[in-house]
Amino acid sequence: MRKHLTQANIETLKRPNAGSIDVFDMAYPGLSLRVTHTGVKTFVLHYRKDGKSQRSAIGRWPQVTLQDAHDAWREHRDGIEAGEAPKPITLKTGSEGLFEVVVQEWLQKDQAEKCNAKTLGDVQRVVKNDLMPVWQGKPVENITREDVIALLDGIIGRGCKAMAWKVHGNLRRFFKWCLNRGIIKADPIAGMERMGSANKRDRILTNAELREVYRAASRIGPNGSAVMLLVLTGARREEIGGLKWAEVDFKTNSLKLSADRTKNGDRDCKPLSTVAVDLLKAIERTDSPYVFGKTGIRNWGGIKEKVDKLSGVQDWVIHDLRRCVSTGLNEMGVAPHVVEAILGHRVNGVAAHYNYAAYQDMKREALQQWARHVMTLVM
């Protein structure tokens, strides 16, 4: 979409139903305003390097004004036309106070010193998956109590009360650190009752519910295949939602995920059942590197709403599918350490020293067995 961006039409731009759209400023080639389905609007510079499209975020509106974006474009337009990556952009608002800058400083100077590797990884994932998509480009001092409540309400609305509890705890530590460092003048959530629930979910879909969810997912298009793949693999939704074709190895029939794509920070090779392989091969490939959509799946809520409507299954969340796989494999008699390995958990003790190839064979056979069970339910 192209138009002459003005303050007035930026305010009235409608957000897409899913994903994001780029509205290019006709008077400033290469400058766009990216609008997400959550209503976040971010100024972006686009350029080409080595024949490939690249982009560099300027900052989030309205903290970054249209004039700020135009100034940034003027500063970098010669380099953009020459195919050079823009240099780090310094905004009038002071990038040192932006959330993404401050939170990285907090992780390095506070959390890295106080947390073990596992806990630090958990906090980093909260920042990456729950906080950055909402507050990137926003000065920390401008984050209000209402902003935090809206964030936590959204997480609870996904059925993730335990995650909301965890995120709230992380934010308590973050804002306290910011206050002590003089980054903010007042803690926006001081005295606020902790939201969410410390209790973890124990919902397990019955075989009848799993059948209806799988059947419904098969009827909603390509993104439904992602839900089916979650059922067949027991993978985390981030792993499947962000899956790239480069990570799918049809020679070995497996998914090969790098360390930065897994929760435990280890590389993972996930064997695929023949059903899962056939499901992936049936997905039409586009020029996107992602298996699902142009940028991967970010709106699981919209997908689940469609599945809910068609299946009639209620009171479940996407993560419950993973618990369902775990329970099913255990009930089939699969060794606990094999189930843990399938789920991407670190395996300790004697089981950790199994031959890698043997481990892969055990995982593959277990997932084949699980896939046969799923197919028996849905056929």
pLDDT, position 353: 47
Give the Cα separation of 35 and 10 in Å (integer).
10
pLDDT (tens digit per residue) in 215-255: 999 999 889 999 999 999 999 999 999 999 999 999 999 99
- pLDDT recorded at residue 347: 61
Radius of gyration from C-alpha coordinates of the chain: 23
Question: Which of left, alpha, beta for 14 (phi over 0: left; psi -120 to 50: alpha)?
Answer: beta
The 10s digit of each residue's pLDDT in 123-166 is 999 999 889 988 988 889 889 999 999 999 988 888 788 889 99
pLDDT tens readout for residues 292-313 = 999 899 888 889 999 999 999 9
- 211 by DSSP, 3-state: which? helix
- Tell me what pLDDT residue 350 has: 44
Structure tokens at 132: 């950055």
Judge whether residue 92 has pLDDT over 50: no
| Whether the model pTM is above 0.85 | no
b or e along 91-119 (b: 16 or more beta carbons within 10 Å of the residue's beta carbon)? bebebebbbbebbeebbeebbeeebeeee
Tell me the pLDDT tens digit for each residue of 39-89: 778 888 888 777 788 888 887 777 678 888 888 888 877 766 666 666 655
The answer to whether the beta carbons of residues 30 and 45 sit under 8 Å apart is yes
Q: Quick check: 5 and 33 in contact, CB under 8 A?
A: yes
Cα gap 153→157, rounded to integer Å: 6
Provide the 8-state DSSP code for 260: G
Token pair recorded at residue 23: 């509205």
Output the CA torsion 46→47→52→55 (10° steps).
-40
Q: Is the peptide bond before 86 cis (omega within 30 degrees of 0)?
A: no
Average pLDDT value over all residues in the chain: 86
At residue 2, the 3 state secondary structure works out as: strand
Give start and end residues of each alpha helix (H) in the chain: 7-12, 66-81, 99-106, 112-114, 117-126, 132-135, 145-157, 161-180, 207-217, 222-233, 237-241, 274-281, 300-311, 319-331, 336-342, 356-378
CA distances from 194 to 32, 80, 169 (A): 38, 47, 8
List, in order of start, the domains of the chain with CATH numbers.
2-83 (3.30.160.390), 97-180 (1.10.150.130), 207-378 (1.10.443.10)
Q: Which two tokens stand for residue 153?
A: 């309400």
Beta-carbon contacts of 236 under 8 Å, excluding residues fewer than 6 positions away, are 263, 319, 322, 344
Residue 315: left (phi > 0), alpha (psi -120 to 50), or beta?
Answer: left
